[in-house]
Structure formats: C-alpha cells, structure tokens
Amino acid sequence: MKYLVLSASPNFDGLTEACAEAAATGIREAGHQAEAVRLNDLSVGMCEACGNGWGTCLNNQRCQVEDDFQGLHLKAVEADGLVLVTPVYWGEMSESAKAFTDRIRRCEASSTKDSRLAGKPVLAVAAAGGSGGGMITCLQSMERWIQHVRARTFDLIPVNRWSRAYKLEAIHAAAHTMAENKF
C-alpha cells in the first residue's frame, strides 16, 4: 500500500517535520510505502474561485490553476491513505495546508462526481509550537475537510511542545496501525 505524508511548515527541522517523519517511519515499519511531501517546497497557490464560484473543479474534478497542485492531486488520488501534518497558525491550518486542502476539496467534494478520496483513511496532526493553543480548532477544520471529501478520519492528533515526546510515539503508532489496514 502507498501512503502520502504531507507536511505544511516552512521549517525543515521543527515539530511539524518531526511529526511527519514519525508517521512516515510508522508506515514504512508496517511494510508499506510512504511518500513524504513538504507542501512549502512546492508551488501550490490559492483557489481563485473561478467563474461564478465554481470552475472546472465542479464537473471535471480538475483545478484550472496550473501549478504543482495538479501533480499532488494525482498523488493523493492514487494513494491508499493520507497523513496531513500542519503547524497551528492562529488556531488554524498553515497557509500551504489550507491552499492544498481548499483546492482538492473543490475537486473531490463537488456534488456532481464521486470523490476519489472516498473511504481513504486520513491521519491529521496539528502541531502547536507557540502557546500550545488552537490545536482543537485546527483539528476541527481538518476533520471537516476529511468529511467534505468523504475520506475517513483515522485519527486526529494534537501535539504541542510539552507533549512532543509521547505524541511522536502516538503518531508513529497511529500511522503504523493505519498502514496495516486492519481497522
């Protein structure tokens, strides 16, 4: 099985990357493939709300804004499951996580086509490194996104600076269990 591990921080060695690494290791130790992608290394712009609010996303499941989103969208559709790790910014997902999730939601949550993410397990992680606040509001919006694209919430894990050590273990275990696909 093939899993896509998305992380959404500009930092290469922070909490977000540590969480993504723990998840990828858990998947690989379960004997499956994990492709790690740092959203901030790609060019994924914002949804432009084309037309009257819907563009080609509605009927063609394809975003008409041409950038790195197209390739990433395909990888997500082809994956057996997803891990999404975002730093908590103002109690929400980071901008790169938001840009990606907004655009893929429009393509996969429209009422005219079946979602190609339907039923796929998603492990969502919100990493709060500052006050430690805002993890739950961030996870709420990640959960809403999972529901909109009709994927399956495997787990929602909040982590902050103080819980880092034991939450990294939990993320590793969650990803390992998700990849084993025995739930």
Ligand X SMILES: Cc1cc2nc3c(=O)[nH]c(=O)nc-3n(C[C@H](O)[C@H](O)[C@H](O)COP(=O)(O)O)c2cc1C
Binding site for ligand X (CB under 6 A): 9, 11, 14-16, 87-91, 127-134
Q: Which is nearer to ligand X, 16 or 115 (CB)?
A: 16
Distance CA 49, CA 31 (A): 41
Q: Which is nearer to ligand X, 61 or 94 (CB)?
A: 94
Residue 167 burial (C-beta neighbours within 10 Å; 0-12, 13-18, 19+)? buried
> What's the closest the beta carbon of residue 37 comes to ligand X, in angstroms?
15
> What's the closest the beta carbon of residue 62 comes to ligand X, in angstroms?
31
> What's the closest the beta carbon of residue 129 comes to ligand X, in angstroms?
2
* DSSP code, position 173: H
- The residue of the chain with the least Cβ separation from ligand X equals 14
Tokens of 76: 């997500």
Q: Which is nearer to ligand X, 129 or 143 (CB)?
A: 129
Helices 135-148 + 95-108 axis angle, to 10: 20
